Structure 1
Amino acid sequence: MTVRWEPYLWEEPRPVNPHEFELLERQWGVTLPEEYKRIVSHHQGMTPEPGTFKLAEGNDRLSVLLTLTVDPEKKPYSVMRVHEVLKPLIPPGIFPFAKTPGGEFVCFDYRETPYPPRIAHVSVELSITPIADSFSAFLNALYDE
C-alpha cells in the first residue's frame, strides 16, 4: 500500500538539510537507513495515511515522524530531544523516529543488527516490542484500521 504524508506539525513540508542527517548519525554513532533519510527529508513532522501498525497484542498508530530540523516551538517532536529524554530509561541502541497518539515511540533498534536496524515500539511503560525487520518493512506493513 502506498503511504501518503499529511501535514501534522506544519501546514507546508519542511525539507531536512543533509547536514542534519550527518549530525544525527555522528551523535548517535549509527548509519540511518537510506529510505528513512529519503522519507523524512521531505516529510518530517508529517503523519502517514495509512498509519496503523500491528503489535504483538493489538495495534497502534503512527501519529507523526519526529523532526530533525530544530524548531523551538516544536521541541517535543525533535528526535534529539526525545532521545535525550528516553536515553537514561532504555537500553543503548534504541533511537526514536516517530511518535504515537498515546505518547509512545517507534524506534530504530540497533542492539542486534548494526545495519539495517530493526524497528521497535517503546511503550509508556518502557517495554520494547519488535515490530519490523527494517524501516521499509515497517512502512510496507502500515494499514488502514
Structure 2
Amino acid sequence: MGVNKWINGEELHDETLIKLVENNFGVKFPEDYKRCIQLYNGGYPEPNCFDMNDGEQGVLINLLSFTNDNLNITMFYDFEEETSIAGLVPIARDPFGNLLCFDYRLKVQSPEIIFYDHEEIGEDAIIPVCSTFTELLNGLYSAE
C-alpha cells in the first residue's frame, strides 16, 4: 500500500506560495504535506483509494494545486464561510466534488485528515479519515 507514483504533478519551486496560502488560511501546514506539494503539486497518486473511519471507501483524484488556476487551493479561501465550519482547510479532492481537508479545530499543530461530503450540512458532512497526511498516503490502495 502507499503511493507508487504521481501523475501530472509538478515541482513547486517557490516556497513563498505555500507561505502565502498558509497566511490566508491562518494555519501552518504540516511538514509532510509541504514536502509532498513541493514535489507533486496538483498531482494525483497511484494507487488512489483510501478508507474512511466509517468504513466507506474514498478516491483521491488530485491534490489541490498552488499554481494551476483550474484546481487552485486559493479557490477555497472562503470555504469556512460556505460551510459554516471553521478550521477546515481543503487539500485534495475526489471525482464527485468532495474534499479531503486538514481539520485544525482540535489540533492546530497536527491537524487530522477528514473527508468533507459536499452534499451534507454541518458536522454530518465531516467523516474522519486518518491522523496525518503521511498516514493518508501510506494507506492508499488500488480498488482492483
Q: Same fold (TM over 0.5)?
A: yes
SS in 1 for 2:10: coil
Find the counterpart in structure 1 of residue 101 from structure 2.
107
AA at the equivalent of 1:66: L
- Post-superposition shift, 1:21? 1.0
Letter in 2 for 1:104: N
In the alignment, structure 1 residue 47 sits paired with structure 2 residue 41 = no
- Give the 5 Å matches for 1:29-108: 29-55=26-52, 56-69=54-67, 71-72=68-69, 74=70, 77-84=71-78, 86-88=79-81, 89-108=83-102
Q: Contact 2:2–2:141 at 8 Å: present in 1 too? A: no
- Distance, in Å, in 1 between the alignment partners of 2:13 and 2:66 is 7
In the alignment, what sits opposite 2:10? 13
Q: Deviations over 1:55-112 (max 9, x none)?
A: 214201000100112x44x2xx11110342x322141100000010111000000000
Q: Secondary structure at the match of 1:87?
A: helix
Contact 1:83 1:96 in 2 (8 A): no
Structure 2: unaligned runs, 5 residues or longer: none
CA distance in 1, matches of 2:77, 2:84: 10
Give the aligned residue type for 1:6: I
Q: Does 1:26 align with 2:23?
A: yes
Identity, % of aligned pairs?
Answer: 30
Using structure 1 for the length normalisation, give the TM-score: 0.86
Establish whether residue 129 from structure 1 lines up as the match of residue 127 from structure 2: yes
Are the aligned partners of 2:2 and 2:140 in contact in 1 as well (CA < 8 Å)?
A: no
8 Å Cα contact 1:6/1:47 also seen in 2: yes
